[in-house]
Amino acid sequence: MKLHEYQAKDVLKGFGVAVPRNAGIATTPEEVRLAVEKLGGRGVIKAQVHSGGRGKAGGIKVANSPEEAEQIATQMLGMVLKTVQVPEGLTVEQVLIEEPITITQEYYLSIVPDRSSQRNVFILSAKGGMDIEAVAEEEPGAVITLPVDPLEGIHDFKLREAIVAAKLDPAYANKVAAFMRQIYKAFVESDATLLEINPLAVTSDGRVLAADAKFQVDESALFRQTGFNAIAEASFENAFEAEAHRQGIAYVHLGGEVGIICNGAGLTMTTMDEVQRAGGSPANFLDVGGGASAEKVTSCLKLVLSDPNVKGVLFNIFGGITRGTEVAQGIVAGTKTLDIKVPIVVRLAGTEAEEGSKILADASLIPAATMQEAATKIVALTR
């Protein structure tokens, strides 16, 4: 679950992390003007979309008066912000209004889990305000990593060693070390999967602030992170993914023309590969899970068909826990209740596959004996 910048900073403030003063978010130019007035007449207007590179794309502007802020907001709100990360663009529906700060130094700081070492790892660099992947490629020595033992926790001397190795200004070593402790506490106690501060800013008045923040939380932990439930659905920029989240469906929107419904993540990804090998483009990743009921299969089919780009649907079900008869009943129920105008290819194998195929025989569906045959058929039909 991705948090917007303003949400991430609200969480961080709860753990004592220093962030720029803000006047909240706004959805209209008038609200932006009033917010800048509260900040004393000057403010930074920041588009709230889930993408980096907003500044280069025109999503971050400095307003030197409330009137200028209103003009900037008129242009920014509703615009499609196209960034390097999201070239197709994201619509700006709200903006964050912050105090302007004078930055004298920019650092990069993040925490990510490293599954190979089973550790959360700090990534630190003096090359802040830049794409960290490019920095790592062009100047590997400028990026320092610090794994944290989950039992021992953070040692001060380890933090200082990392700060020295990253060649940060020694004058701010104490403040940066304290900052790292604070964000690590926020990361662990929030069940985060990513926390990135870029830039970690040193201001002209000596403050160390999170000038920007990316925060991602493990959705599987929302049962205990109840404070995030209110913003869970709002974290999805894609309407299909938001609806899937509401229904408890494992779905990722991909933008192609072949809708894919399978059971099991591995089978789903393999099916996507086969569709691509056949010359098609997957519209989505959708895993109905084990033991999927007929009702859930119908819901999954309805979700996939709600995407106007879908020109055909491929069911690839291997019955283990999931029974072929249950899936077949769900497909038939879906075809009866939904207005289906695209071809559907079905491949069933495993538990009760033969019985399921008999149920499907009378429906206007296209059978396939193998996954490769199913992929070839659906691609040909969508062409």
Distance of CA 212 to the CA centre of its chain: 17
- Asked whether 346 and 368 are in contact (CB, 8 A), the reply is yes
Distances (CA, A) of 88 to 64, 91, 166, 233, 291: 31, 10, 35, 21, 37
- For residues 124 and 122, what is the distance between their CA atoms, to the nearest angstrom? 6
Q: Catalytic: which of 6, 108, 172, 251?
A: 108
Residue 339: is it exposed, middle or buried by C-beta count within 10 angstroms (0-12/13-18/19+)? exposed
Residue 226: other Cβ atoms inside 10 A: 8
Residue 364: is it exposed, middle or buried by C-beta count within 10 angstroms (0-12/13-18/19+)? exposed
Residues paired with residue 105 on neighbouring β-strands, in sequence order: 202
Is 107 one of the annotated active-site residues of the chain? no
Residue 66: cis peptide before it, omega within 30 degrees of 0: no
- Asked whether 63 and 69 are in contact (CB, 8 A), the reply is yes
Residues paired with residue 285 on neighbouring β-strands, in sequence order: 252
First to last CA, the chain: 35
Buried b / exposed e along 134-156 (16+ C-beta atoms within 10 A): ebbeeeeebbbbbebeeeeebee
Q: Catalytic: which of 68, 70, 98, 196?
A: 196
Is 241 one of the annotated active-site residues of the chain? no
Q: Which residues are catalytic?
A: 108, 196
